[in-house]
Structure formats: structure tokens, C-alpha cells
Amino acid sequence: MVVFAAVIFLLASFQMTTKALTVAAGESLSYAPEILIQKMKAGRQESIPVNYMEKLTGIFGIRSITPRVWGYYFHEISGANFTILGLDPSAMPLGDQLSRAIDSGNSPGTHETVVGEGARSALAGSGSSLFSLFRPDLTLKSFTIVGTFKPETDLLTYDSLFMPLGDARDLFALSDDMVTDLCVTVANPKEVSTIAKKIASLLPDTRVVTREQVQKTYQAVFGWRSGFASICLLTALTSFIIFAWDKASGLTPEEKKEISVLKIVGWQTSDILTLRFWEAVIVSLVAFLVGYTLAYVHVAFFDATLFRPIMLGWSVLHPALRLIPSVDLSEFILVLCLTVVPYLAATVIPAWRSAIIRADSALN
Amino acid sequence: MFLNPWSVALCLLSLAALFLVGIAGRTALSVLRYWDPASDGPRQIRLENETWLSSTLVQYALGFQILSLVLFTSAADNFSQVISGAMCATGALTANPFGLPALYLKLVGAFFYGFWIVLHYLDISSERYPLLKTKYIFLVCLLPLLIVDAITQTLYIANLKPDIITSCCAVVFGEGGGSDGNLLGIVPQDKVLIAFYCLAALLATCGHFLFRKLMMPLLLVNGVLWLCFIGLSFVAITTVFSSYVYAMPYHHCPFCILKPEYGYIGFLMYGTMLPAGFFGIASALVCLIPGRLGLDNVIGRFQKSAVLLSSIMLMLFVTIVSYHYVIYRFLGGER
């Protein structure tokens, strides 16, 4: 039963981690712009001119278009890739709500930045709030940390540096009329796909990504990884099932005697089968409850330490986000089907073999 | 889309059910071939023992099939988060031509396994096992159904492509006529409601008379009515009752009611309607067993309990589906 509980623990932990991460990604993305426009050239993304915004003014339903600089900065000292996000908070419809994502400090002004928790510890380990980054020509650009993001947004902001648009352009040596992408917010969520189609036809050299697509991609990736992990864990489950089958098949002389005595006192084959069925149900349910509870503790209190690297990817700075496992009936049934069903299927035939022992067999 | 825990679990359940019914089917074939009640040789004793195994296996398979039905709808709901355009199980199930057939096969399968178990219990209540051959022929026929079920489900999962755009329930079950994906067409709500409550009342009346005195013609009529009622209930839940659960007049969906945000009320609805229908139909089907087999008393007892059970479940079902409707229509809505 301990082995069974361990297998259930592994599977349930994976499932809960996936679910918690999907929920976390969904929540973090709920403030993301509805549509992103990126310019493509030769199949690769390149900078988009800011004047592309003017071509979209005729589309009815767009609430605002915000130019954004979004890039990665490799920090040699910590060996981490930072996500640099440069935009003008006042230009976004929810820009005034940015302070809700900032744990302490203010929105950044010129030469100022708001950083994620991971980036802060990598950059300002000495306790200073001043640091410098290299421009492409290796000249230094200095920044002051004026705030950090809230831990709830860690999945997206853990390795991020948020700064004004001008500073980000300066850091990446982008010219003043260029940005990396345009964020479009739409007044009516039902119009997103129609507006996305219109943008795609007006700007044929761009890639138009909707928030829904990003969200589904997250879910697909987490689902794929967790499916892959489930298949790996199935090998553990299979070996356990073989073990259970083997154990249930080999009856000890005491067990044989017990069944013979039961038959002598009037038990039928069907009674013994029923008894065996309830025995298997109790064993698997106890193991299931123990395994599931342990998995809950593992995810809720230890932040799924065992599996987080697999689920979150290969970045050096892993977000230390708090996972909130949700106990959902359908997830419960899923883990039950993955573990208890094979166990029951594997023990039914050995149970029958033991039930058909003749009443006189132990007396010989 | 096999690399997803839901797909893995569905495949595992299908394999487990196939394995169990496969072994039961092997027993069925040897029983059909060698069964000889007059003999007391080792082969006959072995076969007698194996009949216990096969019945246990089919009972397990029934349990797995019911679980698989629940898992399949939950899985479809989960797939919808990945498939473009899908917002609930409806979108995921209509994403390719195998989704809905797989669901129907699972539903029909659960009913057939149930009928087999009823047959088995009637059979073992007599020492002469009068229904032995019938039930094993039936068992051999169940095997292809299970294989078709597993194949359809595999084809469904294999053909699920996250990048194919499908329709959400608002389009599939919506009232906007002319949408090419509408599964139910334009169904007038009042007529569905009148038919639903009239049929439910008729079934309750039939149940009342049958419980007092079992009459074969009425039992058969009752069975046919139950079959119609199951179909009508699906239509009524989809077109009328579900939108009162969601508190949204244009949201008609038979799957969203299974979600936690609606308190899993869908499980209560289907969990009473399907067993009620099963017992209603089963009480009629056992009438077809020839009377000379000496099972009259047992069959009568079974029919009485089945009629009683189906009537109780019917009342529960009607109460549960009407709850939100009555609250919104007559009590001024939820506070």
C-alpha cells in the first residue's frame, strides 16, 4: 500500500502542479493586452515602426494601441536572461493600475526601473538599488531600482525589468521611431478575433497574436509536459500493477485455509469475490487518499519542489511563485482513473482464482 | 493529442475495459461451446467457476464504463482550454467527427452492460441457470461494441488538433437559425417544456399503476416512453433548463452544467435521469424473457423494484431540473 500511495502521490503532484500553473498563467495573463502585433521579416521577428499605428486608426473597436519594447538581456555575472519590458504606463488603458502589480515603490521614471524578485536579487545582491547594464556598443547605462513586482505575478515578472520606453530603446539601441511590438487593447472582448483579422489584412507583414492564443499555448505546453510526465510515471504504475498482480496471485497456505474454512461454513464463490472486491477498494481508496493528501501538501506547502523544474522550463531564474493547488472533482476522477482502475483490473483475476479454491483443499 | 494526462487516462480505461471484457468473452465462447448441465466432469466444474469470473469482470467493466463516461466529458471540457474557439466540452466534442459518436457509444455501452448484469442476476437466481446461453451470446455481442467504442475514442483523440478552429456552445446550441453547426436546430422552448412535463407525469402515472399491478402491455409501453423521455430530457436540459442554471438566456449547453461553478448540478441531473431511464427500460426488456423458464417470481420482483426505483429517480430528476426554472420564473430569481 505504501508503494501504491507513492505512485498516486507522484501522479497527483504532477496533475496539481499543472493545474496550479495553468491557473497562475491565466491569472497573470488576464491583464495582458488582447492583441499583440509583431513585424516579421524572413520568418523572424524584427522591430516595428511606430507609424504602423496610424494605419490602424480606421478600425472601429480598438480602444488603444501602445508601443512596447520587449526583449531579453543576458546578464553575464548571474548567467541569467532578463526580460526587459519598456512601455509608457500612461499610454495604456490600465496603466494606472500598474501600481497594483507593484509590491513596493512607484512606477519608473527616466533611468528608473521596477524589477521582479528574481532579477532584484541577481542585480542588487549587495543591497544597493543602483546597477548598470551594457548597451550593444558596450557603453554602460545605469538604472535605479524604484520598486519590485508582487509575488503573485512571479510567473511573468520574476525575471523582468520594467522601464520607460525611451530607456529600453536606449538600452537596445533602437531608433526613436521603432519598437518591438504594438499592444492593442479592445473595448469589447467578443470583437477581438474580428479586429485581429482586420489588423492582419491591413498590415500583411505582421504577426497578430491574441491573448487567447497565448493562453491556450500555455495550457497546451503545460498539458503536453504533464502528459509526457504521466506516461513516464505510467512505467512506475505498470511495475506496481505487475507487483500487485503477482502478490494477489500467490496465496499463502494461511489464506488458502481461510478461504476453505469460509467455504465450509457456507460462503459462496460470489461472497468471497465480493469480499475481495471490497478489500481491493478499501486498499486502493486508502492509498489514494494518503497519496492525494501528500501531493496536496507537497504542492501547497513545498511548492512542488520535485517537479517544478520540469514544468517551468529551463530558465536559470525560476520564479519562486506560490502554487495554489485546486481540488477539482474532475482532477480527482482523472487521478483515480490513472491509478485505482488499473489496480482493480489487475487484482480481479487473482481474486477470482483465490475464490474458486475448493472447500476441501486446505483440509488435505 | 495523446500527450495529455486526460488522453492517457481515457486510453487506460478503454484498455482495462477491453482486457476485462475480452477475458469474459473468452469464457463466454467456451461456455457456449462446452456447457453441459448434466455433466459433472472437470471441464464443467471449471466452466461453472469461470461464469463467476465473467460476471465479476463485466461488473467491473460497467463500473469502468460509467467512470469513462464521466472522464470523457471532463476530458472534453479540459481539451476545450487548448482548442481554438472551444469554450467548453461542446466545442471540444465537435472539433472532429468522432467526438459525439464516442460519447453516444459510451452512453449506450453503459446501458448494455447494465442489461447484461440484470440478465445475469436473473439467471443465477435459479439453480438451473436458464438464461445462461442467452447471456453469453449477449456478452459476445458486447465485445464488438467495446472495440468500436475504443477505436472511436482513439480516433477522436488522435484527430484533436489544437490549431483547428471549432465552435463554442453558444453557436452549436444557439437560437440563431442558419448557423451551420447548430446541433438541435430551432426547438420551441414552450413545446419542449409541455412535452417534458406531460411525459414525466405520464411515466409517474404508469409507475404508480405498475407498482400496484404488473401488466405486460403497460410495462412495454412504459419502456418505450422511457426511451423517448431520455431523448426529450437531453433536449429539454439543453434548450430550456441549462440556461436557467447559467442565469443566461442565450447560453444553452448540456455540458457546462457539469462544471464546479454550477455546483456540479449536471452530475445530479444525469445521475438521476440515466439510472431512472435504465430501470424503466430494463423492466420492460425482461418481459421478453420466455415465461416457461421458471423465473416468473424473480422477474416480477425485479420489475417491481425497477419500477419503484425509476419512479423515485424520476421525481428526483424532475425536482432537480425544475429547481432553477421555478426559482427564476415564479420566485423572482436568486438573491
Task: Indicate the residue of A14, A220, A334 with minimum beta-carbon distance to B82.
Answer: A220
Q: Given A22, A328, A337, which is nearest B9 (Cβ)?
A: A337
**pLDDT on residue A8:** 87
Q: Which of A282-291, B220-229, B296-305 has the lowest mean pLDDT?
A: B296-305
> Would you place residue B176 in the very low, low, confident or very high pLDDT band (cuts 50, 70, 90)?
very low
Q: Which of A181-190, B169-178, B195-204 has the lowest mean pLDDT?
A: B169-178
Chain A residues whose beta carbon lies within 8 Å of the beta carbon of residue B267 = 329
At B200 the pLDDT is: 93
Question: pLDDT tens digits, residue range B248-286?
Answer: 877 788 888 888 888 888 899 999 999 999 999 999 998
What whole-number distance in Å separates Cα of residue A338 and Cα of residue B232? 34
Which residue among B12, B67, B78 places its CB closest to the CB of A342?
B12
Residue B292's pLDDT is what? Answer: 66
Q: What is the pLDDT of residue A105?
A: 67
Average pLDDT of chain A to the nearest whole number: 81
Cβ–Cβ below 8 Å for A273 and B84: no
Whether residue A120 contacts residue A148, with contact meaning beta carbons closer than 8 Å, is answered with yes
Q: Which chain A residues have any C-beta within 8 angstroms of a chain B C-beta?
A: 14-15, 18, 22, 212-213, 216, 219-220, 223-224, 226-228, 230-231, 234, 269-270, 273, 277, 328-330, 333-334, 336-338, 341-342, 344-345, 348-349, 351-352, 355-356
Q: Which residues of B touch A216 (CB under 8 A)?
A: 81-84, 162
Asked if the Cβ–Cβ distance from A227 to B8 is below 8 Å, we say yes
CA distances from A216 to A71, A224, B329 (A): 22, 12, 38
Would you state the pLDDT for residue B175?
A: 45
> Are B67 and A341 an interchain contact pair (Cβ–Cβ within 8 Å)?
yes
| pLDDT at A271 > cutoff 90 | no
Does residue A138 sit in helix, strand or coil? coil
Residue range A146-151: average pLDDT? 82
- Counting one residue from chain A and one from chain B, the pairs whose CB atoms sit within 8 A come to 99
CB contact under 8 A, B64 and A224: no
* pLDDT at residue B318 in the model: 94
What pLDDT score was predicted for residue A209?
Answer: 84
Measure in Å the smallest separation between the Cα of A51 and chain B Cα atoms.
Answer: 31
Q: What are the DSSP calls for A245-287, one per residue?
A: HHHHHS--HHHHHHHHHHHHTT--HHHHHHHHHHHHHHHHHHH
Q: Residue A26: closest CA among chain B residues belongs to which residue?
A: B81
Angle, to 10 degrees, between the axis of helix B5-34 and the axis of helix A211-249? 40
- When pLDDT is cut at 50, 70 and 90, the band that residue A282 belongs to is very high
Of B2, B60, B162, the CB nearest to A345: B60
Is the pLDDT at A170 greater than 60? The verdict is yes
Q: What is the pLDDT of residue B314?
A: 94
In angstroms, the separation between the Cα of residue B45 and the nearest Cα of chain A is 10
Geometric angle at alpha carbon A59, from A54 and A62, rounded to 5°: 90
Q: Which amino acid is at A40?
A: M
- Least confidently predicted of A97-111, A212-226, B211-225: A97-111
**pLDDT at residue B177, as a whole number:** 38
Residue A124 has a pLDDT of: 67
Of A330, A336, A342, the CB nearest to B16: A342
Which residues on B lie below 8 Å from A279 (Cβ)?
Answer: none
Q: Which residue has the higher pLDDT, B4 or B143?
A: B143
Residue of B59, B44, B137, B150 whose CA lies nearest to B106: B150
Provide the H-helix boundaries in chain A: 2-29, 52-55, 98-101, 117-123, 154-157, 165-172, 192-202, 211-249, 253-264, 269-302, 308-312, 329-355
Kindly state the average pLDDT of the residues A324-339: 82
Q: B124: which chain A residues are within 8 Å (Cβ-Cβ)?
A: 270
CB contact under 8 A, A333 and B74: yes
Interface contact flag, A341 B81, Cβ < 8 Å: no
Residue B217 has pLDDT above 90, yes or no: no
B82 — pLDDT class (breaks 50, 70, 90) = confident
pLDDT digits (tens, 9 = 90+) for B187-197: 788 888 899 99
Average pLDDT over residues B111-131: 86
Q: Which residues contact B285 (CB under 8 A, 6 or more apart)?
A: B115, B118, B223
pLDDT digits (tens, 9 = 90+) for A230-268: 777 778 778 888 888 887 777 777 878 888 888 888 888
> Taking CB atoms and an 8 Å limit, are B12 and A341 in contact across chains?
yes
Phi, then psi, of A87 in degrees rounded to 5:
-155, 165
Option in B5, B12, B83 nearest A15 (CB): B5
pLDDT at residue B233, as a whole number: 93
| Burial of residue B112, with CB atoms counted within 10 A of its CB: 0-12 exposed, 13-18 middle, 19 or more buried | middle
The answer to whether B53 contacts A349, with C-beta atoms less than 8 Å apart, is yes
Selecting from A219, A234, A273 the residue whose C-beta is nearest the C-beta of B52 gives A273
pLDDT for position A201 = 85
Nearest to B9 among A224, A338, A349 (CB): A338
* pLDDT value for B163: 62
- How confident is the model over A8-54, as pLDDT tens digits? 888 888 888 878 877 777 777 776 778 888 888 888 888 999 888 88
Per-residue pLDDT at A125: 65
Give contacts of A358 with chain B, Cβ < 8 Å: none
Whether the pLDDT of residue A318 is over 60: the answer is no
Predicted complex ipTM? 0.79
Residue B81 has pLDDT above 60, yes or no: yes
pTM of the model: 0.76
Instruction: For residue B178, name the pLDDT band (cuts at 50, 70, 90).
Output: very low
Q: To the nearest whole number, what is the mean pLDDT of chain B?
A: 84
With beta carbons under 8 A apart, name residues in chain B contacting A344: 60
Chain A residues close to B6, C-beta within 8 Å: 334
pLDDT of residue B230: 93
Q: Tell me what percent of the residues of chain A surpass a pLDDT of 70.
A: 88
pLDDT of residue B131: 85
At B309, is the pLDDT very low, low, confident or very high (cuts 50, 70, 90)?
Answer: very high
Residues A75-116 pLDDT 10s:
888 788 888 888 876 766 555 556 666 776 667 778 888 888
